[in-house]
């Protein structure tokens, strides 16, 4: 397959692995080999199957077909404990800590240092944790509870956990997503030390320059299929994007040019203490404005506050000139706001409820009025409206009475969009509209957003997907640590300028 591989068998490998979740085929015949002393990159768009690969290595998922090999021998991981016993440590995209337990306990859960009586030696545990933090160059208190740590600090705890395990294989799923430049440099230094010590490392990042800086080989996935594994030497960022996307970028981001109309959403000096501070911006009708920034920068929190899910401490929000009362989603909806949340499973949909019921949920009043006199909702009216929207969004379903839980991620996202578009909003806020959905549906969602803007809707889009931000937005607002730090017009928005602002470097302003 490749010539640069050392002759010894790989430490850990997936060989021809396939995995399906219900109707969604997450992986099809994927092969990845991790060698000792090598940092291997896994590239692919959102929804390409990277996280499924991670969870298969971690023993969370078992392959439907194909096998996992440890030092050349087939193994079956019956759960995360097996994988850990085999020396596999995983740092997940979202840190998985126990909020009520101390930082030291989080690191040493299940492997606490013991006294001769078998009791936990707290002193030794705290000292060991402090030692790890010293090696990592951070000053965290091992005694403090994990609740309330910043995402970057949580990530540090996860890394300390992996190091304390003396892991043979380290898997890092977007560990840098929430880190500043300095923290990334620190992480890389640690990673290289582990690499030199003979650790096999799998590294996932959306920032291509990080892949080129840290890794030796790269495996690319697209829509769950293996595209290729090759050395990074001699490869360019464009080559990599080409392999990940497999089509021209323009096609994926069909943005129409629209002359912006009057201001539809006006946010003035909005502050929620300790979360975000002094955020002001406007979105005009016909505009798509992206809100970019690192995970934890406070973007979703601003959106939640605008829609009234969370309370704000100071500032004001106006929709079409009407001031919104704080903390009232009902008032926000009445004023013409719609909010498609980040987490469609937890916040966007009622998974056990049917497609038609989910779509109808935002318009129960108007459905009742449309159902004729009396307090009851006609199922026929509800179904007709749902069918209408399902067709308009090209939803793939067998029956409208099916639970939304059986749909694929992309189709679920369409149901959430239908549910909110049916309220005929003047301002649409979408939080990570294409996270975890396949490329085809992604393009459809983008086309839809573009059409909505063309039809005079104001769209505020939160996205961590930089190509999406650059491809779709008329203007890019960038948040860093709870503040709006840059506003970049479409013409000047580049990966570099946005990332610079998002990581707190002030280069973005100079470029503008």
Partner 1 sequence: MTAVARQRPTRPTAKTGRGEGGLIDLVLRFRELGILGALIVLVAVTTAINPRFLSAQGVEDIFLNASILALLAVGQTLVVVTRNIDLSVGSVVGLVAFVVGDAVSGTQHGVLFAVALGVAIGAACGLVNGLLVSLCGVPALVVTLGTLYVIQGLNHYIAHGEQISAAEVPDAILKLGNGDLAGVPYLPLISVAVMLAVGCYLRSYPSGREFYAIGSSPEAARLAGVPIRRRVLTAYLASGALAGLAGTLWLARFGTVVADPARGWELDVVAAVVVGGVAIVGGVGTVYGAALGALLITTIGSVLVVLKINPFWQEAVVGLLLLLAISADRLVALRLARVLRKRNVRHG
Q: Which stretch binds partner 1 (CB under 8 A): 63-71, 128-136, 330-338, 342-350?
A: 128-136
**Is residue 209 involved in binding partner 1 (CB under 8 A)?**
no
| Residue 210: CB minimum distance to partner 1, A | 18
- State both tokens at 490: 């479409």
Q: What are phi and psi of 430, to 5 degrees?
A: -120, 130
Q: Three-class SS of residue 400?
A: coil
DSSP state of 36: T
- Could you tell me the smallest distance in angstroms from the CB atom of residue 308 to partner 1? 19
Site string for partner 1, 470-489 (x = CB under 8 A): -----------xx-------
| Cβ–Cβ under 8 Å, residues 226 and 30 | yes
Contact positions with partner 1 (CB under 8 A) in 395-454: none
- 403 secondary structure, DSSP code: B
Beta carbon of residue 81, minimum distance to partner 1 (angstroms, whole number): 3
Interface residue with partner 1, options 9, 29, 37, 145 (CB under 8 A): 145
Select the residue interacting with partner 1 from 6, 114, 123, 451 (CB under 8 A): 114
Tracing tokens 């840290």 back to the chain, one arrives at 214
Contact flag: residue 101 with partner 1 (CB under 8 A): yes
Using the rule CB under 8 A, which residue among 12, 39, 190, 429 binds partner 1? Answer: 190
Residue 157 Cβ vs partner 1, minimum distance, rounded to whole Å: 11
Please identify which residue in 5, 15, 20, 138 interacts with partner 1, judged by CB under 8 A. Answer: 138
Q: Which of 39, 97, 457, 478 binds partner 1 (CB under 8 A)?
A: 97
Q: How many of the chain's residues bind partner 1 (CB under 8 A)?
A: 55
Nearer to partner 1 among residue 182 and residue 280 (C-beta): 182
**Which residues from 53-92 bind partner 1, rule CB under 8 A?**
58, 60, 79-85, 90, 92
Q: How far is the CB of 178 from partner 1 (least distance, A)?
A: 12
Residue 23: burial class (beta carbons within 10 Å; 0-12, 13-18, 19+): exposed
Out of 3, 7, 73, 110, the residue judged to bind partner 1 by CB under 8 A = 110
What's the Rg (C-alpha) of the chain? 24
Residue closer to partner 1, measured from CB, 121 or 487: 121
Name 461's bridge partners. 290, 430
Angle at 209 between CA 177 and CA 495, to 5 degrees: 75
Give the CA distances from residue 105 to residues 88, 99, 151, 170, 429, in Å, rounded to whole numbers and listed in that order.
20, 11, 18, 20, 39
Residue choice 23, 189, 237, 314 for contact with partner 1 (CB under 8 A): 189
Q: Name the minimum Å distance from CB 136 to partner 1.
A: 7
Helical segments of 58-143, H only:
80-85, 103-108, 122-136
Q: Considering the complex, what minimum distance in angstroms separates the CB of residue 101 from partner 1?
A: 6
Is 116 one of the binding residues for partner 1 (CB under 8 A)? no
DSSP-based three-state secondary structure for 289: strand
Length of the chain: 512
Whole-number Å distance between alpha carbons of 261 and 13: 54
Burial 436-475 (b: 16+ CB within 10 A, else e): bbbbebbbbbbbbbbebbeebbbbbbbbbbbbbbbbbbbb
Of 65, 107, 53, 110, which Cα lies nearest the Cα of 85?
110
Binding map of partner 1 across residues 269-308, x = CB under 8 A, - = no contact: ----xxx---------------------------------
Q: Which is nearer to partner 1, 123 or 323 (CB)?
A: 123
Q: Does 96 sit near partner 1 (CB under 8 A)? A: yes
Question: Quick one: which of 2, 98, 228, 455 contacts partner 1 (CB under 8 A)?
Answer: 98
Which member of 1, 139, 376, 391 binds partner 1 (CB under 8 A)?
139
> Can you tell me the distance from the alpha carbon of 48 to that of 225, in angstroms, rounded to the nearest whole number?
8
167 binds partner 1 (CB under 8 A): no
Dist CA 66 CA 14 (whole Å): 8
The residue with tokens 């108007």 is: 366
Task: Identify the sign of the CA torsion 353, 359, 362, 363.
Answer: negative
Token readout for 237 is: 């960022």
Task: Work out how close the CB of 501 gets to partner 1 at its nearest, in angstroms, rounded to a whole number.
Answer: 15
The piece of 14-22, 38-46, 147-155, 373-381 that touches partner 1 (CB under 8 A) is 147-155
Q: Provide, rounded to whole angstroms, the least separation between the CB of residue 121 and partner 1.
A: 9
Binding positions for partner 1, rule: CB under 8 A:
58, 60, 79-85, 90, 92, 96-101, 105, 109-112, 114, 118-120, 134-141, 143-145, 147-150, 153, 182-183, 186, 189-190, 192-193, 197, 273-275, 481-482
């Amino acid at each position: 397959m490749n010539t640069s591989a050392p002759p010894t068998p790989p430490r850990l490998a997936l060989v021809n692995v396939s995995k399906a979740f219900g109707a969604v085929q997450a992986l099809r015949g994927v092969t990845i080999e991790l060698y000792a002393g090598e940092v291997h990159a896994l590239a692919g768009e959102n929804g390409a199957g990277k996280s499924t690969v991670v969870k298969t290595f971690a023993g969370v998922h078992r392959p439907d077909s194909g096998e996992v090999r440890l030092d050349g021998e087939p193994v079956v991981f019956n759960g995360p404990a097996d994988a850990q016993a085999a020396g596999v440590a995983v740092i997940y995209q979202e840190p998985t800590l126990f909020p009520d337990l101390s930082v030291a306990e989080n690191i040493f859960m299940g492997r606490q240092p013991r006294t001769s009586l078998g009791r936990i030696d707290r002193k030794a545990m705290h000292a060991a944790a402090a030692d790890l933090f010293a090696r990592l160059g951070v000053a965290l208190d091992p005694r403090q509870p994990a609740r309330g740590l910043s995402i970057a600090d949580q990530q540090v705890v996860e890394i300390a956990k992996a190091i304390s395990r003396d892991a043979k294989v380290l898997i890092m799923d977007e560990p840098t997503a929430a880190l500043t430049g300095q923290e990334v440099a620190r992480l890389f230094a640690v990673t290289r030390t582990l690499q030199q010590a003979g650790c096999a490392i799998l590294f996932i990042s959306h920032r291509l320059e990080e892949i080129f800086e840290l890794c030796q080989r790269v495996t690319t996935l697209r829509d769950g299929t293996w595209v290729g594994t090759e050395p990074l030497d001699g490869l360019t960022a464009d080559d990599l994007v080409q392999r990940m996307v497999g089509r021209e970028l323009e096609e994926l981001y069909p943005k129409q040019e629209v002359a912006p109309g009057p201001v539809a959403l006006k946010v003035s000096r909005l502050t929620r203490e300790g979360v975000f501070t002094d955020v002001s911006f406007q979105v005009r009708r016909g505009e798509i404005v992206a809100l970019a920034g690192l995970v934890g920068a406070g973007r979703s929190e601003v959106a939640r506050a605008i829609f009234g899910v969370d309370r704000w401490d100071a500032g004001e929000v106006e929709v079409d000139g009407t001031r919104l009362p704080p903390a009232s989603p009902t008032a926000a909806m009445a004023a013409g706001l719609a909010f498609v949340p980040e987490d469609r499973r937890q916040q966007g949909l009622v998974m056990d409820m049917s497609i038609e019921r989910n779509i109808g949920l935002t318009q129960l009043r108007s459905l009742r009025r449309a159902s004729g006199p009396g307090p009851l909702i006609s199922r026929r009216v509800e179904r007709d409206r749902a069918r209408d929207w399902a067709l308009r969004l090209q939803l793939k379903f067998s029956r409208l009475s099916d639970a939304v839980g059986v749909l694929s991620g992309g189709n679920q996202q369409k149901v959430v969009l239908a549910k909110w578009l049916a309220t005929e909003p003047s301002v649409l806020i979408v939080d990570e509209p294409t996270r975890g959905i396949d490329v085809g549906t992604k393009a459809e969602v983008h086309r839809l957003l573009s059409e909505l803007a063309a039809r005079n809707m104001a769209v505020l889009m939160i996205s961590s997907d930089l190509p999406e931000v650059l491809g779709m937005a008329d203007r890019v607002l960038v948040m860093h640590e709870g503040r709006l730090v840059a506003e970049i017009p479409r013409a000047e928005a580049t990966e570099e300028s946005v990332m610079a602002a998002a990581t707190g470097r002030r280069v973005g302003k100079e470029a503008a």
